[in-house]
Structure 1
Amino acid sequence: MNTNDPADLRARHAAAFMPNYGVPPVALVRGEGAYVWDEAGARYLDLIAGIAVSSLGHAHPALAEAVSRQVATLAHSSNLFVNEPEVLLAERLLGLLGAPGRVFLANSGTEANECALKLVLKHGGATGRGYVVAAENGFHGRTLGALSLTGKASIRDQFGPFPIDVRFVPYGDADALKQAVTGECAGVFLEPTQGEAGVVPPPAGYMTAAREICDATGALLVLDEIQSAIGRTGHWFAHQHDGIVPDVLTLAKGLGGGLPVGACVGFGPAGTLFAKGDHGSTFGGNPVASAAALAVLDTIDRDGLLAHVRATGDHLAEGLTSVGHPLLAGVRGRGLWRAAVLTAPLAGQVQEAAQRAGFLVNAVQPDAVRIAPPLIVTAPQIDTFLQALPAILTEATQ
């Protein structure tokens, strides 16, 4: 068996894993900064960052040091005991949010959303509210609770019916949201920008309207920032663009910089809805994952990466806009979270052509290519992609 053969590794993957992912086209073996390498030695500029996860890129010294130090000190404690990194992380998140709240730490985004859903259901049970509102084309996870909130029929319907009454409205339509949210609604789940739908930002004023609608009816406003938070849009949290505070916020992905960590934050009364025993997680608050998250937050702050994301994100957007290729219709998104919108459903072909040219991007929708590089990516690195893009687009049409 040749373990240095990428094709061999992919064949072993196909034989050992369930077929839900298919067989990924590239076998990665190492990374450094914004680059990754496959087993054949080919280098790629990573413009997807593990689906907006690798905030600091690959092999960042601060992350490596924090994880190494913590795993050599205390690797796990469970929720039966308190460990200092989890407390420091919860305190740090509340400080960045600037509002009174309480934190639940989990391992992933879908688990953070499960926690949020249980908070909403407990709120509903206490106040006689029986249904939840979410957005069409929204994505909140694949466990059954989170999937019930996910407005994508292609991944949702085959696992229904769901025990939770969830009513879907068009994303960005404040009038439809107002009609759907009554005094009998327990909560509203929204993404400040819809990620899996193709990096679709809300219309101006939509998030403010959602906050006002929930205030007027008593429904809890839950913002899913699994992809959009931790500097991805140029602010710590995407809802800060709109100057609002949700009742519940969910986080994951970029928070751990590659280590599995999620968080659900309840603000005000929503932070104390749970009683002892209402929820739990064996690995939530794991010291190693918490240390990784603290290293991510410290590095973003110390290195001024929020300003860097805004500047390089604008540079990326301006560069995409100026490409002028017939396959490229435009660009949308904020910061280093963008979608190159196509004039034809050729995103898969663009992803493949980009890979052959040494760039990793993601065909998030048939007509949208997601670009979400590590927050440390540089303008010159982005320029190499922009310079190669016209040829990539042309190849994708052939």
Structure 2
Amino acid sequence: MLRDVGAVTVTCLQLLLLAGGAQPRPRAWDEDGQQLEAIKHGILRRLGMAGPPPVPHAPDPESISRARRLYERRVAELRGNRSREREEREGAAAATRWHRLTAILWRLPDPPRRERDPPRGHEPPRGQRDPHGEPDPDGDQHSHGQQDPEGHRDPHGRQDPPGPYRYLLLVPRTGALRQRLQMLRAQLQLPLHSPHPAQLHVSIYTPGRSGGAPRLLHSRELDPRSQHLDLTAPIRHWAAGHSAALRLELTFSSNVSDPWDGFGTGKAVLEVETRDRAGRGARRRRGLEEECGKSEGKCCMRALKVSFQEIGWDDWVLAPRSYDMRFCQGSCPHNYRAASMHAQIQARVHALSRAAPAPCCVPAEYDPMVLMHYNGEGRLVSSVFEDMLVTRCHCA
């Protein structure tokens, strides 16, 4: 029912503008006033009233003030709800993309060991005293990272030396990673051994500048079964800058490079999920494009200034006194703002044969409107009319 109100009101207000001098009046337009009266009657019928309601001769100022506060509160609530709904709808509809980037991992040499450290593979048991009689606090660690104290056997039964294993990760920037993209998720696929230790410790560092010590970004226990390492935070920080490549140092408690070549260099896949940041700016531009400034007669949205005074209803419709209303107008050629595949086909068939009708330029989205008016009992009320204000047009 309310949708019919909006449709009838659209036609009514277009004609009212012609009557009010906003546009030239066409010849023989409603010379006897029957069309305008019929439209006004239709609006009143949708409101459940036979005619304009009675208006008190001396309205109570306090009642008007109270009703206006209620009206303004309803308008604010409606705008807030619509804004949230639109943002949620557009956010959910925003396209996300997955990018598969090729990352390179270099096996870094082991850090220099202290003289008291035994050769790799012959570490003293944890807690053993060093030559000076002091317990070795680093009996299971070297530099930064954690060891795999028992080493790890590959599928052929060969045992890797205990960790840690250090790698340099290099991710070159590609054209797909633009600065205006929002980084949602980034994960590195690890070519892990199978089987693998139940727990795998990994530390993520940024390489030190000018030979300085690496800076720890994050350290965690990784489930080897996942075979993915979350790098969202460093990738997001890097993508927002201008560096041509991302460099990270990764330290694992076990060897993750098998089955790479003997030089300890290999490739891994970095999967990045992104969303375009264009957001509100692009939506605003699309809204402006709806105006019929450069549409060349194609389907677009025209703006109209409407006042209830023009139809003599300003005595019982108190707010808004006037408002900006839009309607859809224009032709619908092939592949232009088609609402559906059917509309696309219909436009194509119409271009080939005029026997088939062309799609029509009609509203695609609406906003509601709140009216502060007297009802049939002569009381001031605020009524919400859905689908009253056109916000977008398409061809259907």
TM class, shorter-length: under 0.3
Larger radius of gyration, structure 1 or 2? Answer: 2
Higher strand share: 2
So what's the TM-score if we normalise by structure 2? 0.20
TM-score under structure 1 length normalisation: 0.20
